[in-house]
Structure 1
Amino acid sequence: MARMPSAERRRQLTEAAIRAMTRDGVARTTTRSIAAEAGVSLSVFHYCFDSKQALLESVIATITEHSVTMVREAIRPRATLRETIRSGFQAYWDHVAANPGEHMLTYELTQYALRQPGFEQLARRQYELYSAAYIELLDRLGHLGGFELTVPADVLARYLAAMTDGLTLNFLVLGDAEAATQILDMIADHVAGLVREPGQASARRIAGVGGDRGR
């Protein structure tokens, strides 16, 4: 077996775990089946991960990064601010549509962590990652266009995480793609209304000064 840097080997095993868990479920996936999926010995697995918690945390972080990478690449200046925001949501949704099993796994991981004594912090870490991902993407949006939020970034990040999390589960249960598109349009409209474009603040301040002088 070819030698591989430990970080790359961990990544290989994590992706293998995602495939195995998506196919067989979290509870039925064993370290042996993950090692077999990755094509490595069980000793290699235990060398890379010293506990199941460590593996599951890596799985959660990697699944989140799958979606975030697509959204990050999609967020670039468009004709309007609203189109820029909507393109990011569309990139996320394209990943959901292409990988429903992987997204279904995220909910199974949450339930597993909450029900398994000693694993509860993994569920908390999972949802903290969702919010952190949105904070990063909102920051990217601001840097690209010089936009400013009219609400605290952490509050909007939690709101968006909750909205997309709920919408994803709704789609996995009902399979209504048209309804999902309409809801994403609504979310994009809402977010666009919470973002101030360059010059808006200055314009308001000037208008305010002018109004004071006219009175």
Structure 2
Amino acid sequence: MARIAFEERRDRLIQATIRVIARDGIAAASTRVIAAEAQMPLGALHYVFGSRDALMKAVIVHITDQERISALLGTQIASSVGTVDLHQLVEAAMNGYLDNLTTLPERELVLLEVAIHAMRHDPDAVADQWATYRAAAAQTLEHVADEAGIRWLHSTDDLARYLVTWLDGFTVSWLADRDTAAARRSATIFADSFAALAATPT
């Protein structure tokens, strides 16, 4: 086969792993199956990653880089602050997240399976993953407070944890029943409760 650059091999193997897990589950994602999916020799996988666990960690990092808080809330909020009230802003952001979820549910399924695998085999990796989500959420909440002229009634770190925790449950609930209409109603209720966590400085 033609020589492939290292980074291209790496990306092909990560994408192949995501496809295999999305299609067949993590138990089916052996190194042999992943290499075949990527149309690469098994030795190339071990050369690039060294082990299956290292490959799974790379999948976590890849999905996290594309993931939800900064991509979703950052874009939604940057374009909306100052034009709508906080309830409308939060509801729009949650619905934007839901739109992404319904378009690419396999990405979240892969994320969940790989995260559970990491909890058993590489807990530091999954802890870093969720820390990344919380840090991005905290940064976004600080931006909202500055731009909208509000103050949060709890620390941004605590609110970021609450937000990420709620999104986790929201995601799993939708993946379980695929009831998008019910999920949108949940987003409205969440917007009510989250908007109540802010006050206008006196």
Give the TM-score band, short-chain normalised.
0.7 to 0.9
Match of 1:209 in 2: none
Corresponding residue SS for 1:87: helix
**Alignment match, 1:157:** 160
Instruction: Evaluate the alpha carbon distance shift between residue 63 and residue 50 of structure 1 in structure 2; reply closer, same or farther with a 3 A threshold.
Output: same
Preserved CA contact (<8 Å) 2:134 2:157:
yes
Matched with 2:144 is 141
How has the CA–CA distance of structure 1 residues 29 and 142 changed in structure 2, closer, same or farther, with 3 Å as cutoff? same
Amino acid of the structure 2 residue aligned with 1:119: D
> Which range moves more in the overlay, 141-150 or 61-70?
141-150
Q: Which letter does structure 2 place at the counterpart of 1:120?
A: P
**Counterpart in 2 of 1:53?**
53
Is contact 2:20–2:28 with CA below 8 Å preserved after alignment? no
Q: Give distance in 1, aligned partners of 2:146 and 2:65.
A: 20
Q: More relative contact order in 1 or in 2 (CA 8 Å, sep 6+)?
A: 2
Q: Which runs of 5+ in 1 are unaligned?
A: 205-215
Listed as ranges, the matches of 1:4-153 within 5 Å are 4=5, 6=7, 9-68=9-68, 69-75=71-77, 76-77=79-80, 78-114=83-119, 116=120, 118-142=121-145, 144-145=147-148, 147-153=150-156
- Verify the 8 A CA contact 2:60 2:115 in the aligned structure 1: no
How far apart, CA to CA, are the structure 1 residues paired with 2:127 and 2:26?
A: 18
Q: Residues 129 and 92 of structure 1: is their aligned pair in 2 closer, same or farther, counting only changes over 3 Å?
A: same
What is the TM-score normalised by the length of structure 2?
A: 0.80
Give the aligned residue type for 1:14. Answer: I
Q: Which amino acid aligns with 2:132?
A: L
| 1:67–1:95 contact (8 Å) kept in structure 2 | no
Structure 1 length-normalised TM: 0.76
Percent sequence identity is: 30
- Partners of 2:46 and 2:144 in 1: how far apart? 40
Q: CA deviation at 1:72?
A: 2.9
What stretches of structure 2 of length at least 5 have no aligned partner? none
Q: Which has the larger radius of gyration?
A: 1
Root mean square deviation of aligned Cα: 2.6
Measure the CA separation in 2 of the matches of 1:36 and 1:138: 44
AA matched with 1:97: T
Number of aligned positions between the proteins: 196
